[in-house]
Amino acid sequence: MHRTLCFRLSVLIGLLAILFGSLKAQPETRPNIILIFVDDLGYGDVGCYGSKLTPTPHIDKLAAAGVRCTDGYASAATCAPSRLGLMAGRYQQRMGAYSNTTAPQAIIPKDHLFLPQMLKKAGYRTAHIGKWHINRPAKSVFDDVFNELKGAADYFPGPEGQFPGHLGSPMVHGWSSKKNMPYLTDLHGDAAVKFIKEQSEQPQPFFLYLAFNAPHAPWQAPLELKNKFKHISPEVMQLYAAMVHSLDQNVGKVLRQLEKSGVADNTMVLFISDNGPEWGRNYPAFNWPESWPSTIVGSAGPLSGRKAEFLEGGIRVPFIIRWPGKIEANRVYTRPVNTLDLYETFRVAANAPETKSDGTDLLPFLTGRKKEDPHKILFWQGGESRPVYARMGDWKIVAPLDHTPPTLFDLRKDIGEKTDIASQHPGIVKEMLGLVEKWKQEIKQVN
């Protein structure tokens, strides 16, 4: 009896070992990935970042279910280079793209995989909706493309009822001519819902790049929202608030569809802006009404600067990541991260082949497994001869290339970049200038 029992126990233990061994050997399920990349939304334009302009409950709910990065950066202060850096996972200066002016002439290595191409190699179905603004056709890198926008576009349909995907002439700001007119932000949100619904029924994981062009100019909003925001002044900010409201509503559509389709727990969702808020008077040739005051359209919150500037307000943006089961809810991460990091983060999550990138996998940092900063230093530059801006820890330096003295800020104590303390920290200045010069030489070699 004793021998029989021992034999049965040994067989059972062996079977359990085989079972657990096989379970351990199985690869983790690759997550679906939805990257919501919005246009010209300021750091201070979302409720969870302190906005008082209009509630953003759906974006706030996304942040509450994941991690809100307080020091999340875009790789550029304007649309086109920011998007190129995002898709390539590399400093866009390597390709000659410093600004919206130089980005159309960017030289993108033919063998370098864009983010969706890298994920396709890992078995993902990929889709792009909305703004593209890169000189490599979206159709050449995504499986599905819906309403590819080259840049700014009108939010209402033309006379024939179609969305032209570009600006009318001259640019017109204002409310729709009648209620319940089709609206471009809704068009993009509905397309995202359709893709999620269809793809969730397939065994293949998916990557959706949902590139809302809202709230980029022209500032146009549905007439039915006018009374809701009539208490705001000036009128351009009424329009802007309505556009942010619509954006938030469409983020809500996406989150609800993930729940309905039963894939919310296996989907990584990100919400990030491409740069800071716009200065309205940048558009004098585009029919800026004389009655509107010169103003930043949107808010950078406590930060100085705006779009096209490399002060914090131009490059520090709302940066939210939700990944159920991987990142615990209600986390706040305060160290510097960058949109360049998404390439490597997605690659590791998808178990895709290694590809050159300038970013790092953020997951170990966002979960607290790694305590150090994800980067030794980060760089920004808006032109080959223009100053280099760099952040190392809490230090931020402005390094001109014409022998003008550099300026240094301690962002931990001076988030508004008001006080130059370079003379008080010569050692920090010397170290950062050395890293800037090394980066410039590296960019020059590749470019």
* Per-residue confidence (pLDDT) for residue 15, from 0 to 100: 45
Residue 26 has pLDDT above 90, yes or no: no
- Of the listed ranges 156-170, 227-241, 318-332, 405-419, the least confidently predicted one is 156-170
3-state secondary structure of 328: coil
DSSP 95: G
* Per-residue confidence (pLDDT) for residue 289, from 0 to 100: 86
Strands 319-322 and 67-69: antiparallel
Site of tokens 């590296």: 442
Alpha-carbon torsion, ordered 212, 218, 224, 226, to 10 deg: 120
CATH fold of 379-446, please? Arylsulfatase, C-terminal domain (3.30.1120)
DSSP 70: T
Nearest one of 353, 352, 332, 325 to 264, comparing CA atoms:
325
Tens-digit pLDDT profile for residues 331-367: 999 999 999 999 999 999 999 999 999 999 999 999 9
Q: Rounded to an integer, what distance in angstroms lies between the CA atom of residue 178 and that of residue 180?
A: 7
Average pLDDT over residues 299-326: 98
- DSSP states of 381-415: ESSTTSPEEEEETTEEEEE-SSSPPPEEEETTT-T
- Given pLDDT bands bounded at 50, 70 and 90, which one contains residue 10? low
| CB of 210 closer than 8 Å to CB of 36 | yes
- Given pLDDT bands bounded at 50, 70 and 90, which one contains residue 6? very low
* Per-residue confidence (pLDDT) for residue 160, from 0 to 100: 87
Query: Which residues make beta-bridge pairs with 125?
Result: 206
Q: Count of H helices and E strands in the chain?
A: 10, 18
Tens-digit pLDDT profile for residues 275-300: 999 988 655 547 888 888 889 999 99
Please calculate the CA angle 178-180-182 and round it to the nearest 5 degrees: 100
Query: Which residues make beta-bridge pairs with 129?
Result: 146, 210
CATH class of 32-373: alpha beta
The b/e string for 169-191 (b: 16+ C-beta within 10 A; e otherwise) is: eebebbbbeeeebebbbbbbbeb
* Per-residue confidence (pLDDT) for residue 283, from 0 to 100: 55
* Per-residue confidence (pLDDT) for residue 28, from 0 to 100: 57
Average pLDDT over residues 368-395: 97
Q: Rounded to an integer, what distance in angstroms lies between the CA atom of residue 49 and that of residue 64?
A: 12
pTM: 0.93
| CATH 3.30.1120.10-classified regions of the chain | 379-446
Residue 225 has pLDDT above 70, yes or no: yes
* Per-residue confidence (pLDDT) for residue 294, from 0 to 100: 87
Q: Cβ–Cβ contacts within 10 Å for residue 19, how many?
A: 10
Nearest one of 136, 144, 117 to 350, comparing CA atoms:
117
Average pLDDT over residues 46-57: 98
Query: Token pair for residue 157?
Result: 């349909």
- Given pLDDT bands bounded at 50, 70 and 90, which one contains residue 27? very low
Residue 17 has pLDDT above 60, yes or no: no
| CATH 3.40.720.10-classified regions of the chain | 32-373
Amino acid 282 reads N
Residue 430 has pLDDT above 80, yes or no: yes
Q: Rounded to an integer, what distance in angstroms lies between the CA atom of residue 74 and that of residue 274?
A: 6
* Per-residue confidence (pLDDT) for residue 168, from 0 to 100: 86
